[in-house]
Structure 1
């Protein structure tokens, strides 16, 4: 296991912008490649990547030596799954589709042990505690978890002040693709961009760090200028596909008019 202390929390506490990458290939070997690239943080994606608890575990083990802070995106905010992800050693969770403060508060309870929460106590057999070798794990586990909730709908933006104000929510991440779909507009449209800008301002006004992801460099730099602190600038699958397409086209192969992938 990595040394104690939540790297992602520490990076947020520094106040500096941190740049991340989505790890969606669902493979420990490719995760190793991403882990050596120099990103500040990496997201092992369990929502849209073809991952389960065992494959996420494999990638966490592969990334132990990486200097990047590790985030795991759960496919859903179910307490039983959150319990398993924490037990295998994920200490920073990104949970999608959080639309109101009640959902956010339920997630806080799911990542904390009783009496503050409902996380089942099985650390003695879990990787998170070094399989029982870390005698102090239970005492500091709650403080060691970083919870990021994902706001990606019109309802979430309407409730954003209340969501961000929930004690135990460490940061709020805006999901631009789902937000744009919910609004019936392209991500780059003025309406969606105005909503994102307002959302970043609302999160910051609540005293919480704001995050976002897009492979569009122009938008990423705009979000950083707006005050987003943790920004993911691409996904390994998209980078891999784009690089292979470009290589093939240099030899007259593939689709010459293929458009770059979007997220």
Structure 2
């Protein structure tokens, strides 16, 4: 008789149960070993990225294996429903979809994570890790309950539409990306400008009014603390590749810089 598998709680469920904001980091190196190290750090959650990283389905699967039960979001490079289907089938339970500007786009990705009749996700549970090869009991009828969907607010248009996006049925939360948002506002790379901070806080406030979970990216500790105080529910405060780059820079500056 096959062993029955219980899938872990979704990230949305963990946010609902949390008594404080959850602090996490990016995993961008496409390395299962690095992902495993990050998972053991004591941070609350990880984001495995495929939008700006050399990740593909096989490397994402290997990293999901490596991080084990650590709460993990996975970001595809786009909201393509074919990619979403593949990510769900390989066992990503929590998706972060980039560049959502309108409620129609949010509704489209919400349909992509659900089986018919509510959605358009293709059937393949018997073949897929997402259903644990049909060892996750009643997966077809309860699959949507095992998935959480977050969408990214990264443009001036998205900020203008934030309440409609956040309120889209099937969307479990929003995530603000200050880097792309600063570019959209004509302030490329200036995430600490008042205009960008105001836009971010507008999104946080809108989500809180709606009772929707809201996260964001803030590598600057002062900005991270400001957004946490404003009510952010989950925040990314660093990245594996960023920590390696800055750490190796510091070593070079300490031991070589003065002799160059």
On whether the aligned pair clears a TM of 0.5, the verdict is yes
Structure 1: segments with no counterpart, 5+ residues: 257-263
The equivalences for 1:80-119 within 5 A come to 80-119=82-121
Whether 1:11 and 2:14 are equivalent positions in the alignment is yes
The Cα RMSD (Å) is: 1.7
SS in 1 for 2:235: strand
Are the aligned partners of 2:102 and 2:165 in contact in 1 as well (CA < 8 Å)? yes
2:191 maps to 187
CA distance in 2, matches of 1:167, 1:230: 21
SS in 2 for 1:212: strand
2:43 maps to 39
2:203 maps to 199
CA distance in 2, matches of 1:255, 1:168: 58
Give how far 1:195 is off.
Answer: 1.1
CA distance in 1, matches of 2:54, 2:203: 29
CA distance in 1, matches of 2:258, 2:98: 35
The one of 240, 244, 250 equivalent to 2:244 is 240
Question: Which ranges of 4 or more aligned residues in structure 1 deviate by more than 4 Å?
Answer: 253-256
Give how far 1:156 is off.
Answer: 0.2
CA deviation map 1:23-43 (0-9, x unaligned): 001111111111110111100
Work out the number of aligned pairs and report it. 254
Are the aligned partners of 1:111 and 1:118 in contact in 2 as well (CA < 8 Å)? yes
1:140 maps to 142
2:231 maps to 227
Structure 2: segments with no counterpart, 5+ residues: none
Give how far 1:250 is off.
Answer: 2.0
Whether 1:210 and 2:214 are equivalent positions in the alignment is yes
